[in-house]
């Protein structure tokens, strides 16, 4: 018999923290002098790692690898790309197998399904075709948009996908932006309107039991470059109004997750020339302290050119964690590396025992991720 998520979490709470069992949900880190065994620490670190994989069937080697890693507690979730989707039935079967392998805390099963040109699940495989964010804001009321997004989210939930990496709440301040404006990914250049339709996206998904992630913090809409390919600096084009959707959606409780961008933004005090995803000034100083966001921060893909082209693997992981990211995403797109969960775990276990601040960061992230996962309910379409 399947246990509900709440029952699993309650069981975790009741386990003694000194044992090898998973720790409780409290977000407060333990004192720096307290000891955490390596097995327990690896499970905590595992809740910070999301990877893409190669394969579109259960028998594929790439899928079997992530299923095994999920069973060992090395993953918090997986990210679906177009290459993973051959049939909808196949996606559903893989997700059922992944959750069964995970056993305890549910996996986050994520996808970029924004609508328009950013869709991993397409009409060709039988998924509902969705308009772009720009088209939605131009042709629908917020109420109509919410109903439309609910239908999409219900189909995601029916496949076992519980996290949609959207909405894009970047403002369309540069219509020629190669990765936002030109692709119709932004709802509007106006912060209030982007907030309104971003909220419709979030609420529609919540009605179907699917989590969402606001992106790309602190704003990617003004850029003239693409962080998938290169370092991008928005310092001369970014405006403070780009924070409006984040501020309002956080204040109204409509922010499950916020995704950090790889853009450089020197307008943020202390950020200097550090990408936002690697900047404590941006993620802690601005997002946590000023905007009062208490939820999960997830990185954009750490294998994108803006990061991988400038930093080695170890530095990327350490900087991303210390900057404040709770979940590190490795899409494994161009150069798949199935060993990433173990590499992250091996690195952070050693470093955390030497660096009390890193140990505390891991505990903080674990607490936030567990709290987020407590919101995941059984597939509403199976009730």
Query: Could you give the CA distance from residue 243 to residue 258 in angstroms, rounded to a whole number?
Result: 12
Residue from 205, 220, 228, 319 carrying the catalytic annotation: 228
Phi and psi, residue 299, nearest 5°: -80, 155
- Whether the CB-CB separation of 57 and 90 falls below 8 Å is answered with yes
Determine whether 228 is an active site residue: yes
Q: Which two tokens stand for residue 119?
A: 């869709």
Count Cα neighbours of 96 within 13 Å in the Cβ-side half-sphere. Answer: 12
Query: Could you give the CA distance from residue 115 to residue 288 in angstroms, rounded to a whole number?
Result: 29
Angle 318-305-202 from CA coordinates, rounded to 5°: 80
Smallest CA-to-CA distance from 155 within 190, 125, 199, 116 is with 125
Which are the contacts of 290, defined by CB distance < 8 A and separation ≥ 6?
none
Query: Could you give the CA distance from residue 108 to residue 87 in angstroms, rounded to a whole number?
Result: 20
Query: Could you give the CA distance from residue 285 to residue 134 in angstroms, rounded to a whole number?
Result: 31
Residue from 256, 300, 301, 326 carrying the catalytic annotation: 300
Smallest CA-to-CA distance from 352 within 14, 43, 68, 77 is with 43
Query: Could you give the CA distance from residue 134 to residue 140 in angstroms, rounded to a whole number?
Result: 10
CA 5 distance to own-chain centroid: 20
Query: Could you give the CA distance from residue 378 to residue 380 in angstroms, rounded to a whole number?
Result: 6
Which residue do the tokens 């804001």 mark? 137
Determine whether 300 is an active site residue: yes
Q: Find the length of the chain.
A: 383
Q: Is 353 exposed, middle or buried (0-12, 13-18, 19+ CB in 10 A)?
A: middle
CA 27 distance to own-chain centroid: 19
Any idea which residues carry the catalytic annotation? 228, 300
């Amino acid at each position: 018999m399947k246990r509900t998520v709440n029952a699993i979490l309650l069981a975790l709470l009741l386990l003694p923290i000194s044992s090898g069992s998973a720790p409780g949900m409290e977000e407060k880190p333990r004192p720096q002098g307290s000891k955490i065994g390596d097995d327990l620490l690896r499970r905590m670190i595992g809740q910070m790692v999301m990877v893409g994989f190669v394969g579109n069937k259960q028998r594929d080697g790439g899928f079997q690898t992530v299923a095994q890693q999920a069973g060992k507690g090395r993953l918090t979730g997986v990210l679906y790309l177009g290459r993973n989707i051959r049939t909808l039935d196949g996606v559903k079967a893989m997700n059922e197998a992944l959750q069964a392998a995970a056993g305890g805390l549910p996996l986050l099963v994520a996808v970029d399904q924004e609508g328009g040109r950013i869709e991993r699940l397409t009409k060709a495989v039988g998924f509902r075709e969705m308009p772009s964010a720009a088209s939605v804001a131009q042709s629908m009321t917020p109420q109509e948009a919410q109903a439309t997004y609910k239908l999409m989210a219900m189909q995601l939930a029916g496949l076992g996908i519980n996290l949609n990496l959207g909405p894009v709440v970047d403002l369309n301040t540069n219509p020629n932006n190669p990765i936002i404006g030109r692709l119709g990914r932004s709802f509007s250049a106006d912060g209030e309107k982007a907030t309104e339709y971003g909220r419709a996206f979030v609420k529609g998904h919540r009605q179907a039991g699917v989590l969402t992630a606001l992106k790309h913090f602190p704003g990617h809409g003004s850029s003239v470059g693409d962080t998938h390919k290169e370092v991008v600096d928005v310092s001369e084009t970014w405006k403070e109004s780009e924070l409006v959707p984040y501020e309002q959606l956080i204040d109204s409780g409509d922010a499950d997750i916020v995704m950090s961008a790889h853009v450089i933004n020197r307008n943020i005090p202390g950020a200097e020339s550090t990408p936002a995803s690697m900047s404590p000034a941006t993620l802690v100083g601005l997002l946590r302290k000023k905007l009062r966001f208490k939820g999960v921060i997830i990185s954009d893909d750490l294998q994108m050119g803006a990061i991988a082209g400038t930093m080695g693997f170890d530095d990327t992981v350490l900087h991303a964690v210390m900057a404040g990211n709770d979940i590190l995403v490795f899409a494994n797109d161009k150069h798949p590396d199935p060993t990433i969960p173990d590499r992250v775990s091996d690195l952070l276990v050693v470093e955390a025992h030497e660096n009390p601040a890193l140990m505390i960061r891991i505990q903080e992230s674990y607490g936030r991720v567990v709290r987020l996962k407590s919101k995941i309910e059984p597939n509403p379409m199976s009730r």
